[in-house]
Structure 1
Amino acid sequence: MRFFSNIRRIIGTWAAYHQKTTLLILTVFALYSYFHFGLEVGSWMLTAWRIFAIALLLLLLFSPLEPKDTYLVETKETPQPEIADKPENEKDVDIIRELSEEYYLKTKRDTVKDYKLFLSKILSIVKRTFAAHSAVIYLRDQGTSLLRQMCIVSDEEHVMEDKQYMQDEYIFKEIFERNSSFLSNEAEEIKSLLPYYPESVNILSLLAAPVYINDEISGVLIVDGLEYNTFSGDDIHFIETYGGIIAETIVNYNNLLEFENSTRLFSFFYEVSRGLNSNLKFEEILDLLLSVMQNIIHYDRLTISAYETGSDQAKIIRIVGQVDDFPEGTVFPLDEGLTGWIIRKRKPILIYDLEKDDHFIPRYTSKEKINYNLRSFLGAPISYHDICFGAVTVENYKPDSYQEHHKKLLVMLANNFGVALERSHALQELEQHATTDGLTKLHNYRMFMQRIYEEIERAVRYNSNFTLLMLDIDHFKRVNDQYGHLAGDKILTQIAASIKNNTRNVDFACRYGGEEFAVILVETGLEKALLTAERIRKNIEHLDSNFKGNTIHVTVSIGAVEFPNSSKDVESLILEADKALYRAKSEGRNRIVAYKEKSETII
């Protein structure tokens, strides 16, 4: 049975490559069958010849005479060379090598789709070569013990597709323990080894080989048959050769995929870098980071934590996904959890499966509840040179979700955002120097002029109002002359703090110049504004400024004007506030004067 199967297979393969020759042989045999060509009619030689011719004709007719292009991928530019004078199995090996080279050199492709289609073509040739009932390839996920069915070619109508198994079960256990090929012609043994058939299928022969990549078993190639001894020990060499070719294909595919991913990521990072170089503010950088992370790394929870400079703790400032007991704003120490370690050491962490550890590893603090729902953990510091701004971490419900290439990607991304944050911080400092008074830390005159134009525009657009206060320290020159400029500076900072403490966050306070201050009370009418002004005046009046054993008391005069009034522009509004302030000075100081059209009201 085995002998005739091999003869039929050899003749069929030869006929597929030499169709014209085969046709000629068939014709000659037909002629010899009907014409005796000198042989004596009725002789035993003629009878034997005809029996031989009929037998050979039947073998040729029922052999799988298929055209070459059913399993050869030909291109118009590069015709397939004829392969001759080789055993049948070696011919198929050469065919697959050519397919592999062509696949790798193609430039226009759907990578994943073409990869699976190519594996299907290889398995079709493997199945035909071994006269198998099915041919299957399983590949192991990188860094795991999980094998995933990549492709199956079978004559069986009902097979289990797209399944995955552990390497310590079924036929995979035999391959990984032996670290070599496996052959069996025992029906009962085979039945317990094959995972892809229903129980009704009776497989009588099995041959499997490991697929090695970088000297490690990365997959298993399997063929099976419905007849006893479909495979023999001689077939082991050939299936291992096919396994090697599949390994080459996988490596080529991974290289191609890595190249495509690198190209895509380079383009992506270029766009991100352009965005990061756009002088973004801190919150805008965080928003961009979240947007980027959604596109390149799958996660069930993402956390961004910020290091509190000069302390031993950090704070969660953004969280997406499962919150648990650690919402945004949670402060945690740097010496307990994984995130603190990332910030403290300024190094990334990759944990394939948190559940595999003997004890629970906290994310933030040793007091947090045990949570094994999130299995995979990956984190990287957001840093620039020796400065660490915080950390970004991602977690996934599935174990082994993140690998080394994910870690490299996250580190690259975090470094980019570290540069952006440093740039933002530097720009913020420059802006602060340009808009803040160095002594009092209030806004400066430049910022005041910008803000008052904005408030007038807003009041006109929304039909609202605001009140402007102008303050001047009474007899401030005497303080500088009697106690020195350092004493004067101390008083200026105290008055600035008093103004800040007695106004709202939405209000605007600035050092207008010298010993003068200005306050914009947003969406506040004159009546309420005068109450605020009085609170400021009284607070300053009761300030005790101690300087070198001396207690210094000062007072302020305040002019107030509401917008809208008769003023239509910034210059006239400031002039009216100055008029009210001058009136307060001339009327005895330490008082408030509210400007009204054609009159000033003294309080």
Structure 2
Amino acid sequence: MNNNKMVERIYPPNQLTPLNEHDYIQLPINFIHDLAQADCLQSLLDKIAFWISQIFQAERTSITLYDRAHFLKLYSISGNQAIPLEFKVPIQQTFVGRVFSTATLRICDDVTLFEELDCHMLAQNGMGSCMDAPLMHKGKCLGTLNVADRAKFHYTKQQAILLQCLANWIGLNIKLHLQVQEMQKLTSTDELTGTFNRRMFTQQSNQHMLLFFNTQTPFSMGILDIDHFKTLNDFYGHQAGDYVLQQMCEHIQSHLNEHDFLARIGGEQFAIIFPTHAVKDAVNRFKQIRTAIEDMKLPYQEEIICFTVSIGVAEAQITDLNAETVFKRADKALYQAKLAGRNRVHFDVPTLSI
């Protein structure tokens, strides 16, 4: 790393202001149009990566955003895949991590002379130099905007000014999309358990019902209720009840795949949707969830909390008028499971009109 100073140029924000009031940035009209049309964060970042690669004629353009402690997440790449999209970029011991943590644009004139992980990956895939700018919003760094070229000593200070100006403007766009994303999450998520809420359950069940009517794609719905939850709350306290709900949801999630759906629809009651599953398979999966919950032993203060659940299951049928009809049948099955002694899965068998 002793050679870094010879091939690394650092530009604090105050050095990257326009040279005078007559300076301007010329951008493709379609770039502005595409950014205005982006309907989600990923779409926005994909469009930015594409157009930045065009503007700088870059061999590689990438965008990272802060993901969680110690890591940046690659959200979009245009061009060379030297650092693949699924790679989690550590903030420590990477060039892009130094850009993020110092909120300072940096130019690496020769990536082969750097020992940092990302520079090594770029060099291995034919890149010679890179320029990374912090994505800023109100003094906070959201991530980085990065370009790379096969040639060494490729980037100029004038290009650095352009990239940082664009990064500042893009940072505002990203922040707005992040705020919308957070608002959507708040309106669709149960605050206590982190699962979806009843509003999202209604939306999802309607979508599955529409798909069922149009393509006969089956789905099964389960209504899960914690047995004797009021007694549990009274004995251990409401904080313990909240803890049980949170831990149970985590346990259920571990038994679901990416297409399954879990929502808290009220109190200690939850809805699970298994799409494209024959009812026999769905019932078996619900039985596995019931058994897994029965086997849970939750340490709480000096106690061990054990509990069970009852589950009512219904499969969408051509006789169902809408998703609400399927829900009512699953809820009826839940009632039957409770009457039969709780801690069981009961399937509603629809009666056909003659």
Is the counterpart of residue 330 in structure 1 residue 87 in structure 2? yes
* Distance (whole Å) between structure 2 residues aligned to residue 571 and residue 268 of structure 1: 45
Compared CA separation, residues 567 and 389, structure 1 to 2 (3 A): same
Q: Which is greater in Rg?
A: 1
1:572 maps to 2:331: no
1:598 — aligned with what? 351
Contact 2:309/2:344, CA 8 A, preserved across alignment = yes
- Where do 1:451-490 residues align within 5 Å? 451-490=204-243
1:339 aligns with 2:101: no
Query: Which residues of 2 match residues 109-188 of structure 1 at below 5 A?
Result: none
2:138 counterpart residue number: 385
Residues 238-317 of structure 1 aligned to structure 2 (within 5 Å): 262=24, 264-265=26-27, 270-271=32-33, 274-275=36-37, 280-311=39-70, 313-317=71-75
Q: Cα offset for 1:349?
A: 2.3
1:462 and 1:523 map into 2 onto residues whose CA distance is 11
- Aligned amino acid, residue 274 of structure 1: A
Question: What is the deviation of 1:323?
Answer: 3.8
Change (3 A) 1:360 1:570: same
Structure 1 433/332 Cα, relative in aligned 2: closer, same or farther at 3 Å? closer
By relative contact order (CA 8 Å, sep 6+), the higher-ranking structure is 2
Name 1:500's counterpart in structure 2: 253
| Aligned residue identity for 2:43 | E
Who is 1:59 aligned against? none
> Which of 262, 268, 275 lines up with 1:509 in the alignment?
262
CA separation of 1:268/1:596 partners in 2, compared to 1, >3 Å: closer, same or farther? Answer: closer
Alignment-mate amino acid for residue 58 of structure 2: Y
- Closer, same or farther: CA 551–318 of 1 in aligned 2, 3 Å: same
What letter matches 2:264 in structure 1? Answer: R
Mind listing any 5+ residue stretches in structure 2 that lack a counterpart?
Answer: 1-20
1:354 matched to which residue of 2? 110
Question: Where does the alignment leave 5 or more consecutive residues of structure 1 unmatched?
Answer: 1-257
Aligned residues: 333
Would the aligned equivalents of 1:509 and 1:517 in 2 still touch at CA under 8 Å?
Answer: yes
C-alpha contact (below 8 Å) 1:339/1:363 kept by paired residues = no
Q: Which residue of 2 aligns with 1:539?
A: 292
Post-superposition Cα deviations, 1:161-207, rounded to whole Å, max 9, x if no partner, equal xxxxxxxxxxxxxxxxxxxxxxxxxxxxxxxxxxxxxxxxxxxxxxx
Q: Is the 8 A contact 2:35 2:44 kept in 1?
A: no
**Residues 455-500 of structure 1, C-alpha deviations (whole Å, 9 max, x = no match):** 0011121221000101111111111222221121111112222221
Question: In structure 1, what is the Cα distance between the partners aligned to 2:26 and 2:78?
Answer: 25
Aligned-pair CA distance for 1:372: 10
C-alpha contact 1:503 1:532 (8 A) present in aligned 2: no
Does the C-alpha gap of structure 1 residues 410 and 531 become closer, same or farther in structure 2, counting only changes over 3 Å? Answer: same
CA contact (8 A) 1:306 1:389 kept: yes
TM score, norm. by length of structure 2: 0.83
**Counterpart mapping for 1:401-416 below 5 A:** 401-416=154-169
The answer on whether the counterparts of 1:340 and 1:364 sit within 8 Å (CA) in structure 2 is: no
2:72–2:88 contact (8 Å) kept in structure 1: yes
Q: Residues 413, 520 of structure 1: CA spacing in aligned structure 2 closer, same or farther, 3 A cutoff?
A: same
CA contact (8 A) 1:348 1:381 kept: yes
Q: Identity over aligned residues, as a percent?
A: 28
Aligned equivalents of 1:484 and 1:532: distance in 2?
31
Q: Hey, what's the Cα distance between the residues in 1 that align with 2:35 and 2:81? A: 30
Provide the rounded CA distance (Å) in 1 between the counterparts of 2:253 and 2:338.
Answer: 23
Secondary structure of the equivalent of 1:379? Answer: strand
User: Alpha carbons of 1:268 and 1:537: their partners in 2 closer, same or farther (altered >3 Å)?
Assistant: closer
1:27 is matched with which residue? none
How far apart, in 2, do the equivalents of 1:267 and 1:431 lie?
30
SS at match of 2:257: coil
